[in-house]
Amino acid sequence: MPADRDDSPGRESNQNAAISRRSFLKGTGLAVAAAGVAPGRALAGPGSDQEEVPVFGPGPVPIRFELNGEEVRVEVEPATTLLDLLRDRLDLTGSKRVCDRGSCGACTVQVNGRAVASCSILAVDVTGQKVRTIEGLSSAEGELSPLQQAFVDHDALQCGFCTPGMVMSCQALLERNPKPDRPAIAAGIAGNICRCGTYQNVFEAVEQASGQGGGK
Amino acid sequence: MRSFKMAQPRSLAGALAVLGGDDDKVRALAGGTDLLGLIKDRIAAPEMLVNLKGIDGLGEITETARGLEIGALVKLADLAEDARLRVGWPAIHQSLLETATPQLRNVGTLGGNLCQRPRCWYFRNEHYDCKKKGGTRCFAHDGENEYHAVYGNGICCIVHPSNLAGPMIAQEAIIEVAGPEGRREVTAEAFFTSPDEDVLRENQLAPGELVVRVILPPASPKARSVYVETRERQSFDWALCGVSVVLTMADQEIEAARVVFNAVAPVPLRRHDLEGMLEGRRLNEATVDKVCLAAPLGANPLEQNAYKLTLMKAVLRRALNRLKESAR
């Protein structure tokens, strides 16, 4: 415990204070707006200079983030995953909900460029961050990205259900490693399960998209 | 997922104050890749999560006189890419590469990895009121126990789920803990606790305490270390059996040895007996044969997991051979 906390009051009363206060949101990087949200203190020991810890939820709280290049403002409960926000509220159903436990990769999106299982992070945690989904890869006119085209060219899918997540993992891989060899591709898609077994074709598609392996 | 409130502290003191001491009601949220699964599976039902991600100073890796100091909120992907770790603490680095998936390593944290709950399917199923959840039975004892412990499995036969836990012990890591009573340091070896100490938890964190930092003391220049694991699939899977070996060499002779198995017991299993067999000997084929033969001594396999005894011999042989080859 840092020395500046030696005057702290009993933590039990602190905790009770924290739990009984009105939920609100302030100055933590989470976008605050919402008229009608009463300010309040989540925690303050009397006579102490201890931090007031904002507590919000369980009801909806306003958040703001960048989604496929555009700013999104939306209200979500703290218990909402990014995947459920994307699919159920923002109508972006490309990211798939399969295992909902981070095991299968079908929900993969990019957060600040990195591949992330959107089922296993909370929507409030992408506040202020850049999220890209499979819908953000093609152009506004619907023209496929080179990676998407490579998946088509190499038949890198059969049923297609894993494909949005698989493509997003490959996209994140190529942004970090523009010329991955086969072991690097395998490591990059180690979190994506394809039960049709099209891994071989995925390797070829990534090689085409990265300018290796000579196209179809 | 069940609803919860979210506290967003900016300081460790603030986080500790809101955490309080009731684990059932208030839980710390780091990366969340394990905690959200526990909530979805209705194994945990916190009323409030304390989000640690806004706290300054927990997400850094720094080199100090004490060694490499790694904040608990450092993401596994960032740690895996740290060149200092790769060179100085190879067993930990190698185990990181085998941990989870790119998606989970990009979110999961060091502290969260060390504190994750077991993967036992009876524990993870809300309908089994097992000992680890406060019930009276271990369902794996007479049930499906293919992936369970072959040592120390009398009360509860989970295996510790963290890949990093074993190499942390082998490389003599120190874990710094903060709580309502202040800060303390504990060796990684003492941090993880067995079911006979307290079946309800897997480490010695008291309610309201947090892992805030891991300190890796500088390895001896004469030390060589390695981590080897085996699993059913090459992509995302948990280890069936793994081993971390650190050998300090004096010329051709092994001066000191540390051997820690993971995924065979409820805590990482340090093997003083095997270490004693290695010390004072040359690292040659005869030594490797002898030590590997002794690897499964003392095991008490369940109905479906005796294969792990063979795997213990195999991973230890691979590990020692790798160190033998790197000596040339």
B318 to each of A96, A192, B311, B324, how far by Cα in Å?
A: 39, 28, 10, 10
Identify the helix (H) or strand (E) that includes residue A174. helix A163-176
The predicted structure's pLDDT at residue A6: 34
Residue A40 has pLDDT above 70, yes or no: no
Smallest CA–CA separation between B238 and chain A, in Å? 11
Provide the edge-to-edge strand list for the sheet that holds A55-56: A55-56, B5-7, B48-51, B26-29
Categorize the per-residue pLDDT at A207 as very low, low, confident or very high, splitting at 50, 70 and 90.
Answer: very high
> Are B101 and A102 inside 8 Å of each other by CB?
yes
DSSP bridge partners of B213: B71, B176
Length of chain B: 328
> Are B48 and A55 inside 8 Å of each other by CB?
yes
| pLDDT per position as a tens digit, A139-185 | 989 899 999 999 999 999 999 999 999 999 999 999 999 999 999 99
Categorize the per-residue pLDDT at B127 as very low, low, confident or very high, splitting at 50, 70 and 90.
Answer: very high
Which of A116, A120, A182 is best to mutate for the B interface (most B CBs within 10 A)? A120
**What's the CA gap between A94 and B126, in Å, rounded?**
31
Instruction: Give contacts of A116 with chain B, Cβ < 8 Å.
Output: 103, 106-107
What average pLDDT does chain A have? Answer: 82
* Interval B106-121 mean pLDDT: 97
Q: Is the dihedral of CA B148, B149, B154, B155 positive or negative?
A: negative
Inter-chain Cβ pairs, chain A and chain B, closer than 8 A: 174
Residue B51 has pLDDT above 70, yes or no: yes
Of the partner residues B6, B20, B102, the one whose CB lies closest to the CB of residue A115: B102
Instruction: Give percent above pLDDT 90 in chain A.
Output: 72
The predicted structure's pLDDT at residue A36: 31
Residue B66 has pLDDT above 70, yes or no: yes
Q: How far is CA A191 from the centre of its chain?
A: 15
| For chain B, domain boundaries | 1-51, 223-326
Given a contact cutoff of 8 angstroms between Cβ atoms, the answer to whether B274 and B287 are in contact is no
Categorize the per-residue pLDDT at B252 as very low, low, confident or very high, splitting at 50, 70 and 90.
Answer: confident
CATH topology of domain B1-51: 3.30.43
Q: How many CB atoms lie within 10 A of CB A170?
A: 28
Smallest CA–CA separation between A212 and chain B, in Å? 23
Instruction: Give contacts of A115 with chain B, Cβ < 8 Å.
Output: 102-103, 106
SS3 of residue A151 by DSSP = helix
Of the partner residues A43, A173, A189, the one whose CB lies closest to the CB of residue B18: A43
The predicted structure's pLDDT at residue A32: 38
Residue A17 has pLDDT above 80, yes or no: no
Instruction: Give contacts of A121 with chain B, Cβ < 8 Å.
Output: 32-33, 36, 107
Give the nearest chain B residue to A25 (CA atoms). B8
The predicted structure's pLDDT at residue B129: 97
Instruction: Give contacts of A173 with chain B, Cβ < 8 Å.
Output: 102
> Are A117 and B183 inside 8 Å of each other by CB?
no
Q: Of A30-39, A81-90, B11-20, which gets the smallest average pLDDT?
A: A30-39
B13 to each of A43, B277, B283, how far by Cα in Å?
A: 12, 47, 49
Q: Which residues contact B289 (CB under 8 A, 6 or more apart)?
A: none
Domains (ranges, CATH) in chain A?
Answer: 8-56 (no CATH), 61-136 (3.10.20.30), 146-209 (1.10.150.120)
Q: How many CB atoms lie within 10 A of CB A76?
A: 20
Which of B1, B2, B4, B8 is best to mutate for the A interface (most A CBs within 10 A)? B8
| pLDDT per position as a tens digit, A111-129 | 999 999 999 999 999 999 9
Of the partner residues A19, A51, A80, the one whose CB lies closest to the CB of residue B48: A19
The predicted structure's pLDDT at residue B328: 55
Residue A34 has pLDDT above 50, yes or no: no
Whether B223-326 and B1-51 are alike in CATH topology: the answer is: no
Give the nearest chain A residue to B77 (CA atoms). A114
B209 burial level (CB within 10 Å; 0-12, 13-18, 19+):
buried
Instruction: Give contacts of B48 with chain A, Cβ < 8 Å.
Output: 18-19, 55
Give the nearest chain B residue to A110 (CA atoms). B103
Q: Which CATH architecture has domain B223-326?
A: 2-Layer Sandwich (3.30)
| pLDDT per position as a tens digit, B134-179 | 999 999 999 999 999 999 999 999 999 999 999 999 999 999 999 9
Of the partner residues A5, A101, A122, the one whose CB lies closest to the CB of residue B13: A5
The predicted structure's pLDDT at residue A38: 34
**What's the CA gap between B246 and B258, in Å, rounded?**
5
Give the nearest chain A residue to B183 (CA atoms). A1
Q: Of A3-12, A51-60, B47-56, B112-121, which gets the smallest average pLDDT?
A: A3-12
Of the partner residues B4, B6, B182, the one whose CB lies closest to the CB of residue A1: B182
Give the nearest chain A residue to B20 (CA atoms). A15
The predicted structure's pLDDT at residue B219: 85
The predicted structure's pLDDT at residue B234: 78
The predicted structure's pLDDT at residue B236: 78
DSSP state string for A175-188: HH-SS--HHHHHHH
Smallest CA–CA separation between B47 and chain A, in Å? 9
The predicted structure's pLDDT at residue A212: 86
**What's the CA gap between B173 and B176, in Å, rounded?**
10
SS3 of residue A139 by DSSP = coil
Residue B57 has pLDDT above 50, yes or no: yes
* Interval B240-264 mean pLDDT: 96
Categorize the per-residue pLDDT at B180 as very low, low, confident or very high, splitting at 50, 70 and 90.
Answer: very high
Instruction: Give contacts of A58 with chain B, Cβ < 8 Å.
Output: 3-5
Of the partner residues A53, A58, A120, the one whose CB lies closest to the CB of residue B8: A53
> Are B101 and A105 inside 8 Å of each other by CB?
yes
Residue A169 amino acid letter: S
The predicted structure's pLDDT at residue B327: 66
Of the partner residues A81, A125, A190, the one whose CB lies closest to the CB of residue B102: A190
What average pLDDT does chain B have? Answer: 96
Smallest CA–CA separation between A116 and chain B, in Å? 4
